[in-house]
Amino acid sequence: MSEQNRYSWQERMTILGDVEAASFLPWIERHAAKLGLAQAICVAGPDRIELDLAGPVELIDMMEMGCSLGPIDVWVEAIRRAPIKSESG
């Protein structure tokens, strides 16, 4: 699979809740890496994290499930997802 096809689907994931724990951002980065997703944290605050993800939709679905269960020191109330339009499409 080419690198371009591997990351062809992109989404913005917004995680809402009590997500201030210092462990959560590194956890997100590790979980995305384990799934083979490209990720970039865009916003990180005490009640909101926004990240851009790229990869197969099924793996982004798995990322959402992982984040909803997350580490014990965070409380995720909602996760919103929206596709990111590519510049070439």
70: pLDDT confidence band, cut at 50, 70 and 90?
A: confident
Task: List all residues 6 or more positions away from 24 whose beta carbon is below 8 Å from its beta carbon.
Answer: 49, 70, 71, 73, 74
Domains located in the chain, CATH noted: 3-83 (3.30.70.100)
Output the pLDDT for position 85: 81
Residues forming a β-bridge with 50: 14, 43
Which tens digit of pLDDT belongs to each residue from 9-43?
A: 899 999 999 999 999 999 999 999 999 999 999 99
The pTM score is 0.86
Pairing relationship of beta strands 48-54 and 38-44 according to DSSP bridges:
antiparallel
Average pLDDT on 52-57 reads: 96
Output the pLDDT for position 5: 56
Output the pLDDT for position 62: 96
User: Smallest Cα–Cα separation from 57: which of 2, 15, 3, 8?
Assistant: 8
